[in-house]
Structure 1
């Protein structure tokens, strides 16, 4: 969230666009020679789908859950300062995801390039620099670094002297010649693993959403089912959601939700309490549209977690922005668990007004007076809550009809 200044007042209708689920492989990025295992060829295919996406330092390092995740700042690299705005991969994060998608096993885990070189942790064949590049096959994991200092970079070999890599902050995932890095080449690993068609189910279907917190990804839509994955360090991961259905009602930090989403890349379910956005995800169909999965959204309207126009009912909310109008305090209340916000006016009198505005373009235009309400008795009032995921909002209040209007900053 950023503080953004409004420049133009225009009323607009806000909508959250659907996000395509699976990128297409880039031209020229593919297994370029024979001899690789089906799993290795599948790993190459996965990595090639991300060519052109921006590198994110630390991306792909959620503990226990592979996949594109929120980047971090590398304080030795000013180019990385915008990486927390990206959900993508660094070099080893891309390799981790590629081999996971190919095998259904998190072979690499969230470890660093150096750690995976010193102790791969999976069955493999190792190749040394002295053996040259002729022994390499598509999908082999190549390591690069300064002699005597250990590896600092990793890439997937494509064949014919080419590799696909996530180079560094400020650059995109791309295909390059291995000759450009050969001086620093230190060796390669070839994982011994079978391809698992399961993880390719519903390929190209669904939409991307972001997690929060430390969710368990489960075998079914209830908290008593087995756990397939656990996000141990809370790094937000961009996950592909195929469909959603009503399951067991779950409670986290005072928020309640009985809707669960199916994540085909993990063949697992996640409570929507751990997916950023409203209680029922916008533009995600019911699992009843997929007979092999099944389930409906009947009863989802009874949730108290974030949904446009619903009552705020959560622990952990805080005041993101505030201002005053003739002695009244106007606040934009925010809940980081669900990314919902609402307005509150305190210290007022009957007739005082409170509402929120919401903008999809940083405050240049906005949808006005959402949740408009007035103080009817006492001194305080608050609006209903509104989805603030990927948007900005502000609260506005008056000292009665026709009085002065004051708005908080955008958040």
Structure 2
């Protein structure tokens, strides 16, 4: 027979179990896999490819995954991070290297070869979401980014149910984490691996800034680190610009950046062929 004190303790324990809010299977699940419905087949394959690397206990390495072909590479020492001292000895990925590998495996094509900013602003975008949108509209395989429009410094792959797969930092293995919405989260992009529609061109030069308006005095949005494939929605005559021996007053609107760039830095004619004039 239970003593009175033991009986009371048992009743309290049962009451706690009955009243404690249940933890959903998805919330408690830290495994790396697709955790929600609705994603495209390619996005689900990308999640699977990333999760295979998580399951293999692959290291984060600074600069890892950015070799001539997608896949793990030995990293480099990050001068700002003492924890990266062993990265040159470790075969692995940094954040964008993992994303590049995952979508190359999923699509059979190296469609996301670049750093986090280039991947977010990719012309292979089916849709973009802001931080204000939260996680509600996101699907597994969407790419989450952190930073500012000028400096997107981290990227991860959404799994669903508030979880993501990421290469986070030196000294750690690839991992599944809760999405960090209060740590500089910028937004997300959904990848469309199919043929790119619209007017597609390529820039030239390095460090070429896009602008919030067709003016050199306008706010900077994002700088192309090097020659970049872009989609142009329209063009118009605006401020005359002289640079690198060229003068032109034509500016193009880039819908993936919600920004403008002078036509001086777009390969092609001074006034781009077959591109309509902007009405705004």
**Structures share fold, TM-score greater than 0.5:** yes
Deviations along 1:172-230, one digit per CA (max 9) or x if unpaired, are 1100111x344411111111126xxxxxxxxxxxxxxxxxxxxxxxxxxxxxxxxxxxx
Tell me if 1:48 matches 2:44: no
Q: Which residue of 2 aligns with 1:57?
A: 62
Q: Which residue of 2 aligns with 1:177?
A: 178
Q: CA deviation at 1:121?
A: 3.2
CA gap 1:27/1:132 in 2 versus in 1, 3 angstroms: closer
Contact 1:107 1:121 in 2 (8 A): no
Q: CA deviation at 1:87?
A: 1.5
Q: Which residue of 1 aligns with 2:188?
A: 188
CA gap 1:58/1:160 in 2 versus in 1, 3 angstroms: same
Tell me if 1:80 matches 2:76: no
How many pairs align?
164
Tell me if 1:129 matches 2:146: no
- Partner secondary structure for residue 50 of structure 1: helix
- Matches of residues 321-340 of structure 1 in structure 2 within 5 Å? none
- Partner secondary structure for residue 100 of structure 1: helix
- Partner secondary structure for residue 152 of structure 1: strand
- Partner secondary structure for residue 98 of structure 1: helix
Cα distance between partner residues in 1 of 2:74 and 2:89: 7
Contact 2:58 2:91 in 1 (8 A): no
- Partner secondary structure for residue 59 of structure 2: coil
Q: CA deviation at 1:62?
A: 1.1
Greater helix share, structure number: 2
Tell me if 1:115 matches 2:118: yes
- Partner secondary structure for residue 186 of structure 2: strand
Contact 2:77 2:87 in 1 (8 A): yes
Deviations along 1:24-77, one digit per CA (max 9) or x if unpaired, are xx97111100000000001001101111321011001013x1111111111111
Q: CA deviation at 1:160?
A: 0.5
Q: Which residue of 1 aligns with 2:42?
A: 39
Deviations along 1:298-334, one digit per CA (max 9) or x if unpaired, are xxxxxxxxxxxxxxxxxxxxxxxxxxxxxxxxxxxxx
CA gap 1:38/1:148 in 2 versus in 1, 3 angstroms: closer
Q: CA deviation at 1:150?
A: 2.5
CA gap 1:126/1:148 in 2 versus in 1, 3 angstroms: closer
CA gap 1:70/1:121 in 2 versus in 1, 3 angstroms: farther
- Partner secondary structure for residue 142 of structure 1: strand
Q: CA deviation at 1:148?
A: 6.6
After TM superposition, the runs of 4+ consecutive aligned structure 1 residues lying more than 6 A away are none
Contact 1:144 1:181 in 2 (8 A): no
Unaligned regions of 5+ residues in structure 1, if any?
A: 1-25, 195-411
Cα distance between partner residues in 1 of 2:72 and 2:167: 12
Contact 2:125 2:189 in 1 (8 A): no
Q: Which residue of 2 aligns with 1:103?
A: 107
Deviations along 1:381-410, one digit per CA (max 9) or x if unpaired, are xxxxxxxxxxxxxxxxxxxxxxxxxxxxxx
> How high is the TM-score relative to the length of structure 2?
0.55
Cα distance between partner residues in 2 of 1:27 and 1:150: 30
CA gap 1:148/1:127 in 2 versus in 1, 3 angstroms: closer
Contact 1:140 1:190 in 2 (8 A): yes
